[in-house]
Structure 1
Amino acid sequence: MRAPTLALALLLGSALPAAALTLDLPVRRAGMAWEAVGPRYYQGEVFELCLTRASARISAARTPGLTRAPGLGVAAVDRLAVSLGGMWFEREFPEETPPVPGSGSPDFTAYYLAHLPQGIALEEALARFRSLGEVARADPIAVLPVDAVSLSDSLWAQEYWLYQPGPPPRHDIHAPETWDVTLGDTAIVVAVADTGVGADSLRNQVPLPYHPDLSGAVPGSSGQIWTNWAEAGGTPGVDDDGNGFVDDIHGWDFVSATPDHQPFEDFAIEDNDPSDYAGHGTAVAGLIGAIADNGIGLAGIARTVRLMPVRMGWASAPSPGGEVDMSFAARAIRYATRMGAQVINCSWESGYLGSLDSALTDAVRSGVTIVSASGNNYSGPHYVGDREDCLAIAATDATDRVASFSTLGAFVDLSAPGQAMASTSVIVDGSGNRMPVYKTGLNGTSFAAPLVSGVAALIQSRQLPPEANHPLTPRSVQFRLMETTDDIAGLNPGLVGLFGSGRLNAYRALTETSGSTATRMLANTVGAPLLVPSDGEARAAFL
């Protein structure tokens, strides 16, 4: 949750060509085998271009309805594109409209995907576009793995993280006591931004991410899966709610034109079928909200919740468990925010991208709690977790020892069980048929984060009438989760300060309500957030 480092660009003389950049990840170009670059890389033929607000207004006026075009209607940008030969642009967020002037909200219409012709080095193009005054940012797009370590196909379930019988001290998150306080509420939506959820299926001729422990087996019901009722009750083939997505009844699939993919993977076009192939997103969803007390499988920590599948990851040769394009991630988070999610789970490595930064900022300002996995084996970047306004979660085992694979550091906020987990999943047979299953032996901070997301959902469910009349701010949820953990420092000597405040305790998070809170002030402020006393409590007022 550390604030991101600001990058300062050198001013480049207009009379000289811009020097090529040195990037922190290898660049994968067309036709290059993934083995040559590894599982973490920048796409070589496309980058993200963000115009200044003034230039974005000019572009919108001159290129209305732009989908694919050789220029943006901004003279300097178009001249550079022509000089590089064969470039073309597409809107990254075609469903967006400009923000209200003076609102301070990010302008998502300023973001474009810029496609390079063969033979043009990504590093050179980035440097040259960054030198233009009409360009706010030009960023490479990273493709990074999800945060799972290993999988096992054993079908017996063990949920030690919810309850460990026996004498104290217990090393679980105290789920039974939590459920005596609340089971949750269907008004609370957790977006699973991941590789998808469930197997592909049709129910009433509508794509439904299917797993009997997630979508249920009752005809006409979608179980714990979120439903966009405007589209469900609308006309097929029509964008009934006007959000820019047609028939997005149970979420959206943002994956398209991926450079690598496993056989039978859904990779070609974005659509309204956010089902899973890799199994990673389905496992995350199950830990949050698998249907309890139904005679099969396991129980999620949030027994009553709605899970919004937002697919932005896919199974590939270098990352069969799943990898994520950061531009897909930006659109997925933006969609979840617009469609009313209160919590977004991000169990994947993350690198900086301008649109991702804007999407996260707007999500938090809109009241969304962002929960991210800290990462595994110190192997990749964790931009989302580094942000002050997002939670970073490390993993522990069944004895409250910090998992050996868990990435640790001062940016971590708290820990949760993430070793030897069991959850819902999918498998794919030799003919490409996807089937719902259960898997055990799941290891990774990917599977610690969803427990925190589920508890965040339970916290917000207690803010609904009749208990309360307004949700907690994301920072208040962060405070509550961090201040109510169990102390595991004695079991982890030498690691204090690196695994956050302790191990998640769901019951304490629901019942210990007198800790720090945060109130968003509806005005511009100057200086750092101010802590002021109120009735003996510490309250942080911030913009």
Structure 2
Amino acid sequence: MSNPTGPPMFPAVKYRLPAAATAVIAAASLGLSATATPVLAATKTSTSTATELIIGLRSAAQATATVRKLDADPDVRVLASDAAPELKAVTVAVPADQAADAMAELRANPDVAYVEPNAVVQADVISPNDPLYSKQWGLTTAKVPPAWNVTTGSSVVVAVVDTGVTSVSDIAGRVLSGYDFVNNDADPSDDEGHGTMVSSVIAATGNNATGGAGVCWKCQILPVKVLGADGSGTHDNIAKGIVYAVDHGAQIINMSLGGAQDSQLLETAVTYADDHGVVVIASAGNDGSTTRAYPAAIATTIAVAGSTQTDGRYSWSNYNSSADQWVDLAAPGSNIAEDQTGGFYSFDGTSSAAPVVSGVAALALSANPAATAAEVRSALESSADAVGSWVANGRVDAEGTIAAISDNTQQQPLVISDVAVSPKSPVKGTVTVTPTVTSNGGTVKSVKMAVTMPLGKTINVTAARAPWTMAFSSIGSTGTATIVVTASDTAGNTTTASTAVTVDNTPPSATVTMPSYVTGVTPITLDAPSDDTARMEVYVRGVKVGEVTTDPWTYEWDTTAVSGSASLKIVVTDVAGNSTTVARSTVVDNAGPKLTWNGPNIGAKTALRGTVEIKAGATDGTGVAAVDVLDADGNVLGTDTASPYSIAIDTTQFSGATTLTLRATDKLGLISTLDKTLLLDNLAPVVGAVSTSPVAPARGLIAITPDITDDTGIKTAKVVLALPTGRSVQLTATAAPYTVKWVSTGITGEISATVTATDFAGNVTTATSSFAVDNTAPSALWTLPTYVNGTQTIALTSPSDDTASMELLVKGKSVAQTTSAPWSIDWDTTGLTGAVGLSIKTTDTAGNSFSVAKTVIVDYAGPRLAVTSNAKIAAAANTQIKLSVSDLAGIASVEMVDANGQTLATSGTGPYTLTVDTSAMAKGNVTWTVTATDKLGNATTIQKTFTIA
């Protein structure tokens, strides 16, 4: 699983350097050496010293047979042999006095591509003429110049797993095709600069009067971009980059990157490299701590710290603790490097130290191509100079590493160690051949070249001075050319080397078929490409958009940034550099059809139902394939394939605001959509009972509200009232709550209301309900005496069944009310006197009311009473006592009693004259009491003294 943030490259500091003067010097090169292993028993004798010969084979499988055939020559004794299958070569040791016979025998063998002495070069310490070389103390400290006496490098492949590599001046021509795992394409250019500077430290060309010198002048850089422009990347991309490097021929992997987080995935990838014999080197980190950094801390990785000019530790460099010896080597941590812009800088950090070790490893493999990764590591670590316990093995020593890896002790008087052909095979046009010729003990006199062309023509060229560069023209030829180089020195020694190159001056076939219209990512494919096709470049409107360098020859052209007519140029180049251009034109269409809604167009209060005809407009340059109508779930409701586009859809499954999608598809499959919301209603309104305000039974002005619901709303609601009188009333409402008003004055009875509701889609529902109307006042009959006092009960006489309330008003003010039967009110007359106006108001359930008024007299006073007879009365059986008695409520009784309370006489009607029997009474004064009581119970009592005579 990927590290979510990913390990960054270790921060490195770069400082721009001033230009420097250049100086011209001579350069030395390396001859092949290998540990000789006896493979055949020696049967021939010789007293001379041994000479080693390098045999180039046309096939690696021919090594054993070639050695056996050579040993079968009676004039040659093979002392030992060592094969290098990956180089298609085998080194043999023969007696020195048999070397000429051996070379002649080998050159006659058709399985042999070339023969050359296995030379050991010893020269003065090399001092390159690069203007910045004087500032490169790290090379001197790491003893790189003495190593150059043996080799300045070969085509060892060093993978730089980093921010990518840009082929700037000092590494130009030696940057291979790689891959970009950040952007997933075949362009691993450097957009940060770090990877290019790392590559420059490893492989900058020395002695070319430009910039500085790298460690390995001739090694090749395989760029593997795993870090982005911000200098960070993920574990999975780094792991994939390691595997890619291994699978694409890397012999050494440099990783100037890392982080504190361990990763099983990284360890698996590094193990994969180790299992395939690849040397893995990584920077230890710039945290100035002993904390492990990965991938450097993985056991099979060579972890590199940064050392100073005096072999101290830079303060920023990570290092070993006494308990954890994970940092393997130190290397100079400040080196001259060229960045992706071509500028030269002082490049500081363990990111700069690791490539020094990678460069020394490349020199080691150049000195001994057959060395294993374990042998390279052993040579690096065993030869390191001690600098202290902060690294496990010391500071890298290039001279010691080469000495440890190489066993070539034989020296040849004249050696051709390399025949460089430019351009590389296959070649075309003018071909330059530069042999690397060295002599020990003499001076090279001349170098001759004989080129046998494909049709048998031989071209002879001679070079009289170093660098022994010769040229021949291959124009007009196609096939195999054999180049034989013969060098002679002033001592009379000669040596010959040969190589074969493929000549190709025939342009490749290039046929491309393009459709008239394209869209999206469109493949551009070569039809029947030539077997030797090397590159296909695609130009759009004159601008290069990409290229393909591997089979299948298809470029995926992303047309999204192009619109309309586009002219294309496809340039096909073969491995020799011959090219053919094919012009094509097409129309790019990345837009769907132009789409319009042509109907139906409905207003805010319009709805549709049933089958609806959808009309659309659609146009496209490539042609419209179909216009569909889809529902919200993406279901196709209908399709039309010909203009004018009219699609009938059944809307009965929908209700309410419904969004439909118009979809137009052109003949390239591009789609345009347009949403339209329609109000669809296939459900009739629901009509329930009507309600009234006031609530039924109602009266007067009645608000009648039918219960109507509909999902899209009601356009009209008609209410027809059937009245008890036989006539009808029609009312209409157009807005919720669909209330109509009717004046019911004069109407009493049950009203039938027929409601017809029509919605906006035209759906209709009719329903009938009824309600009661009451405009008739209730009865309000009651009785009460004219004269009253105390508490009086006032009761309705025969109240109406719909009576709702009974209210008593005294002198116009409400004093009591009842809302339930029995319809009576108790009236307390206390505090009143005289004539009092009463009113009884009854109200029915409809709110109709009726009042009946009366006036009563409230009387709490006794009768007016006076004795009108003379105070002297005669003793007689029927003495008449006359009284004056009156009262508003009427006299109920008059009574007279004596002093003992004995009734003397009573009277219930007027005139009020009492007859008393005084005949037996004693003469004299008597006091009698007279009491008059009215019909309400009020009484008046007086005493009167009479004299009986």
Q: TM-score, normalised by structure 2?
A: 0.29
Cα separation, 1, equivalents of 2:189 and 2:12: 22
Q: Determine which of 350, 367, 374 is the counterpart of 1:445.
A: 350
Q: Do the aligned partners of 1:402 and 1:499 also contact (CA within 8 Å) in 2?
A: no
Aligned to 1:412: 327
Q: Determine which of 393, 404, 412 is the counterpart of 1:501.
A: 393
Please state how far the C-alpha of 1:378 moved relative to its aligned partner: 4.5
Q: Determine which of 381, 384, 387 is the counterpart of 1:485.
A: 384
Cα separation, 1, equivalents of 2:18 and 2:280: 31
Q: Determine which of 149, 164, 186 is the counterpart of 1:196.
A: 164
SS in 2 for 1:281: helix
Q: Determine which of 239, 249, 254 is the counterpart of 1:330.
A: 239
The letter for the 2-side match of 1:307 is I
Q: Do the aligned partners of 2:139 and 2:215 also contact (CA within 8 Å) in 1?
A: yes
Q: Do the aligned partners of 2:367 and 2:406 also contact (CA within 8 Å) in 1?
A: no
Q: Do the aligned partners of 2:292 and 2:326 also contact (CA within 8 Å) in 1?
A: no
Q: Do the aligned partners of 2:368 and 2:405 also contact (CA within 8 Å) in 1?
A: no
SS in 1 for 2:342: strand
Q: Determine which of 359, 373, 376 is the counterpart of 1:454.
A: 359
SS in 1 for 2:236: helix
Please state how far the C-alpha of 1:142 moved relative to its aligned partner: 4.2
Cα separation, 2, equivalents of 1:401 and 1:150: 19
Please state how far the C-alpha of 1:147 moved relative to its aligned partner: 1.5
Cα separation, 1, equivalents of 2:288 and 2:196: 24
Cα separation, 1, equivalents of 2:178 and 2:18: 28
Cα separation, 2, equivalents of 1:328 and 1:381: 21
Cα separation, 2, equivalents of 1:354 and 1:345: 19
| 1:483-540 deviation line (CA, Å, top 9, x unaligned) | 1011223xxxxxx2x222111110000013499xxxxxxxxxxxxxxxxxxxxxxxxx
Cα separation, 2, equivalents of 1:305 and 1:509: 17
Identity over the aligned pairs, expressed in percent? 33
The answer to whether 1:160 aligns with 2:160 is no
Cα separation, 1, equivalents of 2:191 and 2:357: 24
Please state how far the C-alpha of 1:438 moved relative to its aligned partner: 1.3
Cα separation, 2, equivalents of 1:311 and 1:514: 33
| 1:339-396 deviation line (CA, Å, top 9, x unaligned) | 1101000111143334322211111000000001011115775122222211000001
Cα separation, 2, equivalents of 1:408 and 1:402: 8
Please state how far the C-alpha of 1:141 moved relative to its aligned partner: 4.0
Please state how far the C-alpha of 1:284 moved relative to its aligned partner: 0.4
Answer with 1 or 2: which has the greater Rg. Answer: 2
Cα separation, 2, equivalents of 1:143 and 1:346: 14
SS in 2 for 1:384: coil
Q: Do the aligned partners of 2:219 and 2:362 also contact (CA within 8 Å) in 1?
A: yes
| 1:43-72 deviation line (CA, Å, top 9, x unaligned) | xxxxx2xxxxxxxxxxxxxxxxxxxxxxxx
| 1:442-470 deviation line (CA, Å, top 9, x unaligned) | 21100000010111111112223xxxxx3
Q: Do the aligned partners of 2:10 and 2:285 also contact (CA within 8 Å) in 1?
A: yes
Cα separation, 2, equivalents of 1:196 and 1:414: 25
Matches within 5 A, 1:33-182: 48=1, 140-156=3-19, 157=132, 158-163=135-140, 172-182=141-151
CA RMSD of aligned residues (A): 1.9
Cα separation, 2, equivalents of 1:507 and 1:153: 29
- Counterparts in 2 of 1:388 and 1:354: CA distance versus 1, 3 Å: closer
The answer to whether 1:282 aligns with 2:187 is no
Q: Do the aligned partners of 2:258 and 2:296 also contact (CA within 8 Å) in 1?
A: no
- Counterparts in 2 of 1:505 and 1:302: CA distance versus 1, 3 Å: same
Please state how far the C-alpha of 1:331 moved relative to its aligned partner: 0.8
Q: Which runs of 5+ in 1 are unaligned?
A: 1-47, 49-138, 164-171, 199-209, 216-222, 227-249, 256-268, 317-321, 427-434, 465-469, 490-495, 516-543
Q: Do the aligned partners of 1:162 and 1:175 also contact (CA within 8 Å) in 2?
A: yes
SS in 1 for 2:267: helix
Aligned to 2:153: 184
- Counterparts in 2 of 1:404 and 1:140: CA distance versus 1, 3 Å: closer
Q: Do the aligned partners of 1:414 and 1:499 also contact (CA within 8 Å) in 2?
A: yes
- Counterparts in 2 of 1:155 and 1:281: CA distance versus 1, 3 Å: farther
The letter for the 2-side match of 1:437 is G
SS in 1 for 2:381: helix
| 1:257-279 deviation line (CA, Å, top 9, x unaligned) | xxxxxxxxxxxx31111111211
Q: Determine which of 278, 285, 302 is the counterpart of 1:391.
A: 302
Cα separation, 1, equivalents of 2:11 and 2:205: 23
Q: Do the aligned partners of 1:327 and 1:353 also contact (CA within 8 Å) in 2?
A: no
Please state how far the C-alpha of 1:307 moved relative to its aligned partner: 0.6
The letter for the 2-side match of 1:340 is G
Cα separation, 1, equivalents of 2:3 and 2:345: 35
Cα separation, 2, equivalents of 1:438 and 1:504: 24
Aligned to 2:115: none
Aligned to 1:293: 207
Please state how far the C-alpha of 1:140 moved relative to its aligned partner: 4.4
Cα separation, 2, equivalents of 1:290 and 1:513: 23
The letter for the 2-side match of 1:348 is L
Cα separation, 1, equivalents of 2:149 and 2:11: 32
Cα separation, 1, equivalents of 2:9 and 2:387: 27
Q: Determine which of 217, 230, 251 is the counterpart of 2:178.
A: 251
Q: Which has the higher contact order (CA 8 A, sep 6+)?
A: 1
The letter for the 2-side match of 1:413 is D
SS in 2 for 1:512: helix
Q: Do the aligned partners of 1:370 and 1:390 also contact (CA within 8 Å) in 2?
A: yes
Q: Do the aligned partners of 1:459 and 1:510 also contact (CA within 8 Å) in 2?
A: yes
| 1:134-180 deviation line (CA, Å, top 9, x unaligned) | xxxxx6444122113322233453211112xxxxxxxx111221011
Cα separation, 1, equivalents of 2:16 and 2:206: 21
Q: Do the aligned partners of 1:343 and 1:370 also contact (CA within 8 Å) in 2?
A: yes
Q: Do the aligned partners of 1:425 and 1:438 also contact (CA within 8 Å) in 2?
A: yes
Cα separation, 2, equivalents of 1:394 and 1:366: 25
SS in 2 for 1:398: coil
Q: TM-score, normalised by structure 1?
A: 0.51
Matches within 5 A, 1:311-330: 311-316=225-230, 322-330=231-239
Q: Do the aligned partners of 1:224 and 1:290 also contact (CA within 8 Å) in 2?
A: no
Aligned to 1:512: 404
- Counterparts in 2 of 1:180 and 1:275: CA distance versus 1, 3 Å: same
Aligned to 2:374: 475
The answer to whether 1:371 aligns with 2:298 is no
SS in 1 for 2:313: coil
The answer to whether 1:343 aligns with 2:252 is yes
Cα separation, 2, equivalents of 1:513 and 1:277: 37
Cα separation, 2, equivalents of 1:140 and 1:312: 13
Cα separation, 2, equivalents of 1:194 and 1:384: 13
The answer to whether 1:212 aligns with 2:122 is no
Q: How many residues align?
A: 287
SS in 1 for 2:338: strand
Matches within 5 A, 1:8-23: none
